[in-house]
Amino acid sequence: MKTNYGNWISTPMMKTLVAIAAVLYVLTVLYAVIYDRVTAPFFILAILAGIATIVVLYMYYCRRVFDFEGGGLMRRIHAYLLDQLPWDGLGRALDVGCGSGALTIATAKRFPLAEVQGIDYWPPMWNYGQAQCESNAAAEGVSERCAFQHGDAAKLDFPDNYFDAVVSNFVFHEVRTQKDKFMLVEEALRVLKKGGAFALHDTFGNRDMYGDMDVFVAYLKEQGIADVSYIPNTERNIEMPPAVRFMLRGVGMLYGTK
């Protein structure tokens, strides 16, 4: 049985970018044919079509680097995240926004005594789903310790203090049901037991979305989180091509124990 983890740069996203480039090329040609001349609008359309082509090629390159069966970058990102998780692997773990189940499964393989729950909203644009997650877990030999269900990161369907560890990778900035992204972090920590471990990876360096991370870390400490640390610019700590590092600039990780 073969795994199908998909790609962080999804197929629908690539199709949309290709379609935009194609439309711009068609408009450029139509303008030249209809007006039978080359003027400023023609050059503007041609330049936009060229830029769109560059974007498509760049995203395709990044897609190959991220691919689990290609460049393997997402595997390295997951390994880095789990390296920061201060957990002994005993008990239950939650993966918030599990996608195709890759991090859930990686957590189960890293901690062979753990039971790992993955939740995701699984919006159509990502081409992920519960059946895909379950198939991947079976292919990796961890299906007995992995479970997957539909869920919303803004309102987790679990009681307080339920999990021994919580992880999440590149999810919070994509959640549409909660504009305040810090509340997503608090929701993830709500279901974590006192003394439980967490490692949360997202675009925390985006000040428009998250503001000052030092202020938020101080706030978490005031709220009783026993040990919390923040690593900025984690893209600098993970092996990847410079062109892809540019795409991931500003990602960071909150980790510690509750």
Residues 15 and 128 in one domain: no
pTM of the model: 0.92
| Same domain, yes or no: 85 and 182 | yes
Is a pLDDT exceeding 90 seen at residue 116?
A: yes
**What's the CA gap between 97 and 150, in Å, rounded?**
9
pLDDT at 125 > cutoff 90: no
The reply to whether 248 falls in a domain is yes
Structural domain including 21 reads 11-66
Q: Which tokens is 234 given?
A: 């984690």
Q: How many domains does the chain have?
A: 2
Here the CATH number for the domain that contains residue 222 is 3.40.50.150
Q: Return the beta strands (E) in the chain as ranges.
A: 91-96, 114-120, 146-150, 163-169, 192-202, 227-231, 252-257
Three-class secondary structure of residue 20 per DSSP? helix
Average pLDDT, the chain: 95
Q: Are 126 and 26 contained in the same domain?
A: no
At 29-70, the pLDDT tens digits run: 999 888 877 788 899 999 999 999 999 999 999 999 999 988
pLDDT value at 1 more than 90: no
Q: Residue 186 carries which side chain, given as an amino acid letter?
A: E
